[in-house]
Amino acid sequence: MKPAIPCFRPVRETDLPALTDLVGRIADGLTTLPNDPKFLENKVHHCLRSLYPKINKPGDEYYLFVLEASPGGPIVGTSGLLARVGGFEPFYTYEIQTERQVYEPLGIDNSVDVLHLKRSHKGPSELCSLFLHPDYRRTGWGRTLSLARLLFVGAFPERFDREMIAELRGYINPEGKSPFWEAVGEPFFRKDYYTADILTGLGEKAFIEALMPRHPIYVSLLPPAARSVIGHVHRDTEAARQLLLREGFEGTREVDIFDAGPLIKGEVKRLRTVREAVRTVVEIGPRRPSGERPNAILARPSLDFRAIPAHIPLAGAPTGPAPAPLRISPEEAEALEVEPDDPIDYVFTRPS
């Protein structure tokens, strides 16, 4: 029996019950996918509108993808893209600025870090909404969830900004609390971390401008527990951070305003998956089973996007300015919904 082929594709309206069930399994919640059925329904409709074919520049589009365990099978993961952050509602971060304080008569020369609230309008594109069901982790599917969306960006660069960011989830202690939020946010908002985070996900952002501290915050004045987690990631996010850094994302001096998780960014055209992706055409025929784990992602470069993990022998991979057709199996062709001579993109999941 051949192993099932997981399939990555845009969300559909009929996915809503399965999506609601999957989101309900996210222990700590996702800001862009809060556990609210009506909100999720609106997100699905937002994605469907975003796939309108006449769009030729980034706006408020939101692209939500799901991963099926097999074509037509259960939905086990999600990942998303925001064409542009900001817009009608500003995008907030804390920017860490280092200030020098000098007093020569006493021989004092200090450098201190200060948090400045930053508001971005018409900002860069963003990776978001990444979640894989715990039962399917350590399968390599998380890599497909993260990287396949970059193949979509590479196929439709006009829909995205030249820069891409990712806000990584910040540190949460074993009691499920954010030390940074308890020191910086809760005294002003009078709400626990998860309530404030979900409100933001639901689009309630006016309270941020009204209640956030209006003056810079000196990091040295924060409790040690809050200082120590600035720029640190959630326990389940380190692997995703390492993956994106290998893709060409870089650290910044900005952190999330709620949990102080790091914000990383990269220039889209320099991201490895975008840069190394190869476009050729499909050839369908028997492929000898290699027994090897998938080392590449195959994608149909259309708005009705499809992507699957696959194994491509390194020596036989089509390359060059006019690459030869890529032979795929009938099962892979069925999952991608492609025919012979259809265009296909592929990229190895690790640096070539």
pLDDT at 275: 96
Each residue of 9-44: pLDDT tens digit?
Answer: 999 999 999 999 998 887 665 677 878 888 899 999
- Residues found in the chain: 352
Q: Which parts of the chain sit beneath pLDDT 70?
A: 1-3, 27-30, 198-199, 201-205, 288-291, 352
Structural tokens at position 232: 């640190």
Mean pLDDT of the chain: 90
Beta strands, E only, 18-74: 62-68
How many other β-carbons are positioned within 10 Å of the β-carbon of residue 276? 14
State the burial class of residue 83 (Cβ atoms within 10 Å of its Cβ: 0-12, 13-18, 19+). Answer: buried
pLDDT at 201: 62
CA dihedral 325, 331, 333, 335 (to 10 degrees): -140
Catalytic residues: 234
Distance CA 325, CA 284 (A): 9
Distance CA 91, CA 74 (A): 34
Q: What ranges do the domains of the chain cover?
A: 7-98+114-277
pLDDT at 39: 87
Beta strands, E only, the chain: 7-10, 62-68, 75-82, 91-103, 108-120, 125-132, 163-167, 217-218, 250-255, 262-267, 278-284, 296-300, 306-310, 326-328, 343-348
Q: Which fold has domain 7-98+114-277?
A: Aminopeptidase (3.40.630)
CA–CA–CA angle 193, 194, 200 (5° rounding)? 95
pLDDT at 228: 96
